[in-house]
Structure 1
Amino acid sequence: MQAAVMAVTAGSSGHAQTTVEARWKSEALPLLETYCYDCHGDGIKKGELALDRFGSIKQMQQNREVWKRIRDHLKHRLMPPLDEDQPTVAEREKLLAWIDDAVFPVDPKHPDPGRVTLRRLNRVEYQNTLRDLLGVEVNIMDLIPPDDSGYGFDNIGDVLTLSPAHLERYLEAARVALDKTVKPGAMPPPETRTNGRDLKGNGQRSEEGHYLFKAGTAETVYRPLRRGKYQVTVKACGTLGGDGPPAMELEIEGKKVHEWKVDAPMDRPKDYAHEIRIEEKEPLSIGVSFTNDFYDENHPDRSRRDRNLMVNSITITGPLDGPPLPKPESHRRIFTERKPGENDRAYALSVLNQFARKAFRRPTRDGEVTRYLELVSLAKDQGVEHGVRLALEAMLVSPSFLYREEPQPEPDNAKKIHLIDEHALATRLSYLFWSSMPDQQLMELANRGELRKNLAGEINRLIADKRSRQFVSNFTGQWLRLRDVPSSQPAKRAFPGFNPRLRDAMRRETEMLFAHVIREDLPMTTLLDADFTFINEDLARHYGIPDVRGGEFRKVELKDSRRRGILGQGSFHLLTSYPLRTSPVLRGKYVLENLLDTAPPPPPPNVPQLEPPSRHGDQRSLREQLEKHREDPSCASCHALMDPIGFGLENFDATGAWRDRDGGKEIDASGELVDGRKFHGVDELRKVLVEDHRSDFHRSVASKLLTYSLGRGLDWYDKPALDKIVADTEAAGGSSRAMLRALIDSVPFQYRRGDS
Structure 2
Amino acid sequence: MIRQLAHTTAWTLIIGLWLPTLVVAEPAHRPFSEEIGPFMQKHCVHCHGPESQEGDFRVDTLSEDVGAANSVNRWLEVIEKINNGEMPPEDEPNRPTAEQGAVVVEWLAARIEEGRSARMAKRQPVSFHRLTRVEYANTVEDLLGVRFGVADPGGLNEDAEYHGFDRIGSVLSLSASHVEKYYAAAEAILDEAYPDKPIEKSVVRKVALDLQGGPSSEQRQQLEEQGLADKVRVDMWPGHQLRGGRPGPGNDMVKNGGYFKVRIQVSGMKPPGGRAPHLTFYAEKIDRLLFEQDILAPEDKPTIVEFTCHLPPGTTTFDVTNDVPGPSNLPRSGRSGAIPFFSLKQGRIPWQIKLTDEEGVPLYPFLIIDWIEWEGPIITDEVQAKRARYMPTEEGNLDQVRQCLTRFCEDAFRRPVSERETHRYVAIASQQIESGASAKAAVKTAMLAVMCSKDFLFLVEGDSAQPTDSLNDFEIANRLSYMLWSTMPDEELIALAHEGKLQDKAILKQQLDRMLADPRAAKFSVEFPRQWLQMHKLGMFPPDQNLYPEYDPHLERSMRGETTAFFQEVLDQNLSLREFLDSDWTMVNPRLAMHYNMDGIDQDKFQRVPLAEADHRGGLLTQAAILSLTSDGTRHRPVHRGVWVMESIFGKSPPPPPANVDPIEPNPVDSPKATIRMKLEAHKHDPNCAACHRKIDPLGLAFDNFNAIGQWRTEEVVPSGTGANPKVDPSGVLPDGREFAGPQQFRQLLLANVDDFNHTFIKKLATYSLRRTMTIDDREDLEAIAVQSRADEYRVRDLVETFVLSDLFQRR
1:396 pairs with 451, 454, 471, which one?
451
For residues 417 and 398 of structure 1, do their structure 2 counterparts lie closer, same or farther at Cα, with a shift above 3 Å needed?
Answer: closer
In the TM superposition, what is the alpha-carbon distance from 1:116 to its structure 2 partner? 6.9
Matching residue's letter, 1:451:
L
Give TM-score scaled by structure 1 length. 0.70
1:129 corresponding residue in structure 2: 139
Which runs of structure 2 are paired with 1:507-546 in the superposition (5 Å)?
507-546=560-599
Which runs of structure 2 are paired with 1:183-262 in the superposition (5 Å)?
183=195, 189-190=200-201, 200-202=211-213, 209=245
2:100 & 2:737 partners in 1: Cα distance? 14
1:119 is paired with a residue whose SS is strand
1:707 corresponding residue in structure 2: 767
Q: Note the alpha carbon deviations across 1:127-169, whole angstroms, 9 max, x for none.
A: 1100011123332433222222234322222232222332222
2:729 is paired with a residue whose SS is coil
1:348 corresponding residue in structure 2: 401
2:376 & 2:58 partners in 1: Cα distance? 79
Matching residue's letter, 1:487:
M
Matching residue's letter, 1:641:
K
Which piece of structure 1 moves more, 128-137 or 340-349? 340-349
2:604 is paired with a residue whose SS is coil
1:463 & 1:318 partners in 2: Cα distance? 32
In the TM superposition, what is the alpha-carbon distance from 1:428 to its structure 2 partner? 0.9
For the 8 Å contact 2:716–2:726, the answer to whether it is kept is yes
Q: Note the alpha carbon deviations across 1:649-670, whole angstroms, 9 max, x for none.
A: 1111111111112242222211
2:461 corresponding residue in structure 1: 406
2:56 & 2:452 partners in 1: Cα distance? 47
For the 8 Å contact 1:490–1:580, the answer to whether it is kept is yes
Q: Note the alpha carbon deviations across 1:577-602, whole angstroms, 9 max, x for none.
A: 23222211111111011211111122
For residues 42 and 433 of structure 1, do their structure 2 counterparts lie closer, same or farther at Cα, with a shift above 3 Å needed?
Answer: farther
1:553 corresponding residue in structure 2: 606
For the 8 Å contact 1:116–1:710, the answer to whether it is kept is no
For the 8 Å contact 1:647–1:669, the answer to whether it is kept is yes
For the 8 Å contact 2:130–2:169, the answer to whether it is kept is yes
RMSD: 4.8
In the TM superposition, what is the alpha-carbon distance from 1:35 to its structure 2 partner? 6.4
For the 8 Å contact 2:127–2:461, the answer to whether it is kept is no
Matching residue's letter, 2:714:
D
In the TM superposition, what is the alpha-carbon distance from 1:201 to its structure 2 partner? 2.4
2:730 pairs with 669, 675, 685, which one?
669
1:587 aligns with 2:648: no
1:499 corresponding residue in structure 2: 552
For the 8 Å contact 2:392–2:404, the answer to whether it is kept is no
1:165 aligns with 2:177: yes
2:416 & 2:463 partners in 1: Cα distance? 15
In the TM superposition, what is the alpha-carbon distance from 1:542 to its structure 2 partner? 1.9
For the 8 Å contact 1:536–1:552, the answer to whether it is kept is yes
In the TM superposition, what is the alpha-carbon distance from 1:620 to its structure 2 partner? 2.7
2:586 & 2:780 partners in 1: Cα distance? 35
1:737 corresponding residue in structure 2: 797
Q: Note the alpha carbon deviations across 1:671-696, whole angstroms, 9 max, x for none.
A: 0111111111011111111213x222
1:179 & 1:198 partners in 2: Cα distance? 35
1:567 corresponding residue in structure 2: 621
Which piece of structure 1 moves more, 38-47 or 466-475? 38-47
1:432 pairs with 475, 483, 494, which one?
483
1:450 aligns with 2:501: yes
1:722 aligns with 2:770: no
For residues 191 and 349 of structure 1, do their structure 2 counterparts lie closer, same or farther at Cα, with a shift above 3 Å needed?
Answer: farther
In structure 2, runs of 5+ residues without a counterpart are 1-28, 89-94, 215-239, 254-314, 316-337, 339-371, 718-724
For the 8 Å contact 1:37–1:51, the answer to whether it is kept is no
Total equivalences in the alignment: 610
2:528 corresponding residue in structure 1: 475
1:545 & 1:432 partners in 2: Cα distance? 35
2:743 corresponding residue in structure 1: 682
In the TM superposition, what is the alpha-carbon distance from 1:209 to its structure 2 partner? 4.4
1:619 corresponding residue in structure 2: 673
Larger Rg, first or second structure (1 or 2): 1
1:622 & 1:187 partners in 2: Cα distance? 62
Which runs of structure 2 are paired with 1:651-670 in the superposition (5 Å)?
651-663=705-717, 664-670=725-731
2:67 & 2:540 partners in 1: Cα distance? 43
Which runs of structure 2 are paired with 1:590-601 in the superposition (5 Å)?
590-601=644-655
For the 8 Å contact 2:650–2:756, the answer to whether it is kept is yes
2:688 & 2:99 partners in 1: Cα distance? 16
1:152 pairs with 160, 164, 183, which one?
164
1:419 is paired with a residue whose SS is coil
Could you tell me the percent identity over the aligned residues?
31
Q: Note the alpha carbon deviations across 1:72-121, whole angstroms, 9 max, x for none.
A: 99xxxx9999956779x9xxx9x99xx99x999x9xxxx99788741222
In the TM superposition, what is the alpha-carbon distance from 1:466 to its structure 2 partner? 1.8
2:74 & 2:766 partners in 1: Cα distance? 23
2:801 & 2:61 partners in 1: Cα distance? 44
In the TM superposition, what is the alpha-carbon distance from 1:452 to its structure 2 partner? 2.4
For the 8 Å contact 2:540–2:629, the answer to whether it is kept is no
In the TM superposition, what is the alpha-carbon distance from 1:345 to its structure 2 partner? 1.3
1:261 corresponding residue in structure 2: none
Matching residue's letter, 1:670:
S
For residues 494 and 59 of structure 1, do their structure 2 counterparts lie closer, same or farther at Cα, with a shift above 3 Å needed?
Answer: closer
Q: Note the alpha carbon deviations across 1:291-347, whole angstroms, 9 max, x for none.
A: 9xxxxxxxxxxxxxxxxxxxxxx999999xxxxx99965343232499999971112
1:69 & 1:528 partners in 2: Cα distance? 35
For the 8 Å contact 1:729–1:735, the answer to whether it is kept is yes
1:665 is paired with a residue whose SS is coil
In structure 1, runs of 5+ residues without a counterpart are 1-22, 212-217, 224-268, 270-290, 292-313, 320-324
Q: Note the alpha carbon deviations across 1:404-448, whole angstroms, 9 max, x for none.
A: 12232557xxxx543111001111111111111111111001000
1:364 pairs with 412, 417, 442, which one?
417
2:501 is paired with a residue whose SS is coil
For the 8 Å contact 1:116–1:712, the answer to whether it is kept is no
For the 8 Å contact 2:48–2:59, the answer to whether it is kept is no
Q: Note the alpha carbon deviations across 1:441-493, whole angstroms, 9 max, x for none.
A: 11001000011221112122222222222222222222212222233422222
2:764 & 2:690 partners in 1: Cα distance? 28
2:606 & 2:66 partners in 1: Cα distance? 57
